[in-house]
Structures are given as structure tokens and as C-alpha cells.
Amino acid sequence: MRRGERARHDRDHVLAILDEGLFCHLGVVVDTYPMVVPTAYGRDGGRVYVHGSTASRVLRAAASAAEVCLTVTLVDGLVLARSVFHHSVNYRSVMVYGPARPVTAADEKAAALRVVTEHLVPGRWEAARPPTPKELAATSVLAIALDEASAKVRTGAPVDDEADYDLDVWAGVIPLALAAGAAVGDPRLRPGLDPPDHVRSYQPAARR
């Protein structure tokens, strides 16, 4: 396996990356063509929930496919080497394979949407209006078990050819991190509505 030393098969690595990520990509074959859709997700124990419109071709295909692929990637830094060839990225990623089970029962669908909402912004589900039966019916939710999942991680400094270490070229890492700015209110907010605590204090890395 190429770069097999970056693989992480222990469950703790997989769960930690899934819990820190905010967005995933769901891939499936649709009418003989591979397609990928970006979507929000949430983890509940040993499963991941994704959601979208019932009109989504990708979600409809995923619901009946033998196997889908879900990926989550966190970018931690840009790795600048002495040679262009050895430039890289420090990252943590997860790939999940398996069937996507359609969630059809209203109670589980609502619970799954709560998982997704709370994964993105803890405290938001209780603060906002819950979905109506009509909205639930218009939403497709899939559950993917974490039975077959693995992580891949790159950390550390650039790795150059030995002869290049004598070059007068700066090399190192530019760290990257996702951060939240100050909340911007909807122009149609009713007067006197200030951001609640779960919005004012929100930072992606501190969600859990």
C-alpha cells in the first residue's frame, strides 16, 4: 500500500476525526457514473447519519447501493519542502465503506437530524424550531455503520531528498486551523434578539 505508514486502523483515531469534522463527501455510482455529494453529517455511536433532499439523485442511489464511500478530511497544515516534488499537506482523514440504510421511521429520522444538528452546533436543536412532519417527509436520511472504516494521517516536517537539505531554500510547515468569526445576525431578526450562548461561544474545535 502506498504510504501505508500513514494508515490508522484503530477505532479511536477514526472516531476522533469524525467528531472533529464538520462536512463529509458521500460517493456512490449513479447510473454507471461515480458521483460525490458534499453534505453535513453526525455520528451516533457506531453509525454516521447523512441527510439531504428526497430529490437528490445521489442519496436515492446511495439508499439502494450495495456500498457507498463516505470521507471526512481535516487539513492541519501546508508542508513546504525544499523541492516542489516533496511539497505536501498535513491532514487527518477517514474513509467509511458500507451500505447506507434509509431511515424511514419518523422518530429515528428526527433523532438522526438532531444528531447532525448537534454535531454542527451543540445546543442548537433545543434553540430552534423542530422539523414539521412535512419537512421530515421531504428529507432523506441515511445511516452508515462504521463497521469498515480507516483513517490516514500525515504529520510533521517535510521529507526532502538527502542532497536537497544543503539548498538555501526555506522549508517547513504553515499550520492551518478552522476558526469561527463573530456571528452575523439575519437582517430580518426581530429587535432585541442577541446571539445565544451556544452561538457566541462557538468554536469548531471546541464543539465537544
CATH number of 87's domain: 2.30.110.10
Helix, strand and coil content of the chain, in percent to the nearest 5, comes to 30, 35, 35
Cβ-based neighbours of 167, under 8 Å, separated by 6 or more:
82
Please tell me the pTM assigned to this model: 0.90
C-alpha cell at 182: 463573530
**What are the average pLDDT values for consecutive 10-residue runs of the chain, which has 208 residues?**
61 94 95 93 97 94 94 98 98 97 95 97 97 95 96 96 97 96 96 95 80
Q: Report the number of distinct structural domains present in the chain.
A: 1
Domain that holds residue 40: 4-206
Cβ-based neighbours of 17, under 8 Å, separated by 6 or more:
72, 74, 92, 93, 94, 151
pLDDT at 115: 98
- Strands 68-80 and 23-30, by their bridges, are antiparallel
C-alpha cell at 145: 455503520
> For 106-139, what is each residue's pLDDT tens digit?
999 999 999 999 999 999 999 999 999 999 999 9
DSSP state of 193: -
Longest Cα pair distance anywhere in the chain, in angstroms?
A: 67
What's the chain's length in residues? 208
DSSP state of 54: T
pLDDT at 205: 76
Taking a C-beta distance cutoff of 8 angstroms, is the pair 138, 45 a contact?
A: no
pLDDT at 31: 86
